[in-house]
Structure 1
């Protein structure tokens, strides 16, 4: 079954009475070159189990299953289950879990489903929930080697930005704290049905497994980072004061200790400065 053929896709969707959900950000891949490349660059190989987030009609799932020992896909849309039963019928190493990945116990899932295997994540992520899913995967400290995701262009730029630059965001800090990120290739909007309004890119995050801060310090650090970037146009002192109630004077002192001005915004701090300011504020 050619799951990237538009006629085939339309026939499957029509027979199952399926319509695309804007709310779930559904754009299915119809470019036949994309999914094999994602699978090959995303650790889908012998000895690996792959956790997929969102299946569509199973185009990427099938390519992952051809290469990896096992694929477990978490799909929130119940309407896709009968379609996947048809499109993935030839693969005995695929399991579909009908849940919201943001509410799923991923540690339990990995422990139960991938015994004896190395684990990697591959996904074509909906734009509206890209950053929350990636941050969930990172902050959960799952036993995974890599996260290979297709994201829309704006999210790709944020992921690739340098910490301390204008394009950086909380997600930039997250991927650089937990590992390294690399853009693999671009994907044009015409590669999807229906076509989104922007182009996309496939990114790979390789996790380093290191812990730079203890658990409590790490939680506070990311609380600070998220608070700062939630009001990125404000000064760091103003955003931390209004979001998490840290007195501005304390923030000024922490910034001064790092040679930074009182009016510094969070996007102006590099990783080491963020960690140092966080450590000082946590002691207060």
Structure 2
């Protein structure tokens, strides 16, 4: 059995053996703590019937843990320089399929259809690069993929934003966009000391359970997203000012005031105080006009 690489020494040995240099531009921080790796798999509820999509396997430390517990692991890695490394570290597993490419550009529907039976639901598990966390999460949540659960290691600050409630400092457009589709819950925080190399900030593991039905119903989803983004464009400004500066022109001011009054939302409130239900109500009232 090939050695687990979830320790500083074995990870360094692998990196040295393959003369691999980590790229900061790709957010390559490899996790080297066996307990945390096992806890991530446990948080995702991985078992022998699970089909797992792992984004950014790196040198394969988390992949080894997932492959030992799941039916199949589909790993997507952007850095083709890691091909010989993964061939080495995953040589004892016949249930791992590695696809090289940018997950933001790949057709995940096609990859999942190729690697999984038609009726399979997929669990996403990943240690995501900090610089592309939001676009990757939104791709996973909005493309209608057969995903039930997402468990990802991300920057602690971003994890707090994902599960933030109205009125909290970290509540914003990302909170609403994610909670509209999934139910987020932080599983654990992770110190920066368990990575090679160490990142500048602490991390957190968050679990997102994709909702069978969206949290609220909206008539125009694209407009709903535009409304949310505009409402948080400048956090110190009122809802009215943000919408006038970022969504409507000056000729719409009276109309906007009428609609806000009609739905019972004070135009002097800030976006961070509105619930997702209030945004949905406002979105429908405005998109009907």
Matches within 5 A, 1:272-283: 272-283=277-288
Which residue number corresponds to residue 187 of structure 2?
Answer: 184
Poorly superposed stretches of 4+, deviation over 4 Å: none
> For 2:248 and 2:176, how far apart are their aligned partners in 1?
22
Alignment partner of 1:251 is 2:256? yes
The TM-score normalised by the length of structure 2 is 0.91
Asked if structure 1 preserves the Cα contact closer than 8 Å seen for 2:78 and 2:101, the reply is yes
Does residue 262 of structure 1 match 2:250?
Answer: no
- 2:153 match: secondary structure: strand
**Residues 136-145 or 268-277, more deviating:** 136-145
Listed as ranges, the matches of 1:176-255 within 5 Å are: 176-211=179-214, 212-213=216-217, 217-245=220-248, 247-255=252-260
Deviation at 1:78? 1.3
Task: Output the CA distance in 2 between the equivalents of 1:239 and 1:146.
Answer: 34
**CA shift for structure 1 position 205:** 0.8
Instruction: Give the match for residue 104 of structure 1.
Output: 106
Offset at residue 179 of structure 1 (A): 2.3
1:138–1:174 Cα contact (<8 Å) kept: no
Q: CA deviation at 1:182?
A: 1.2
The C-alpha deviation readout for 1:232-276, integer Å capped at 9, x for no partner, is 333333333444446344433332223222233221210110001
Is structure 2 residue 154 aligned with structure 1 residue 156?
no
Counterparts of 2:240 and 2:23 in 1: how far apart (Å)? Answer: 40
Partner of 1:92: 94
- Report whether the alignment pairs 1:69 with 2:71: yes
Task: Calculate the aligned-residue CA RMSD, in Å.
Answer: 1.9
**Do the aligned partners of residues 270 and 164 (structure 1) sit closer, same or farther apart at CA in structure 2, a change above 3 Å counting?**
farther
Q: Is the 8 A contact 2:162 2:175 kept in 1?
A: yes
Which moved further from structure 2: 33-42 or 106-115? 106-115
Deviations 1:123-175 (CA, angstroms, capped at 9, x unpaired) = 11111211221122111122111110111110111112114533212221123
> For this pair of structures, how many residues does the alignment match?
283
Q: Secondary structure at the match of 2:170?
A: coil
- Does the CA-based 8 Å contact 1:164-1:271 persist in structure 2? no
SS of the counterpart of 2:269? coil
SS in 2 for 1:123: strand
d(CA) in 2 for partners of 1:111, 1:244: 39
Structure 2 unaligned blocks of 5 or more: none
Secondary structure of 2:24's counterpart equals coil
* 1:142-153 alignment runs, 5 A limit: 142-153=145-156
CA contact (8 A) 1:35 1:60 kept: yes
Relative to structure 2, which stretch is displaced further, 7-16 or 50-59?
Answer: 7-16
Higher mean Cα deviation, 126-135 or 54-63? 126-135
TM-score by length of 1: 0.92
Displacement of 1:93 in angstroms is 0.8
Q: Distance in 1 between matches of 2:142 and 2:259?
A: 25
Q: Which residue of 2 aligns with 1:141?
A: 144
| CA contact 1:25–1:127 (8 Å) conserved in 2 | yes
Structure 1's unaligned 5+ residue stretches are none
Q: Check the 8 A contact 2:127/2:153 in 1, yes or no.
A: yes
Q: Within 1, Cα distance between the matches of 2:153 and 2:123?
A: 14
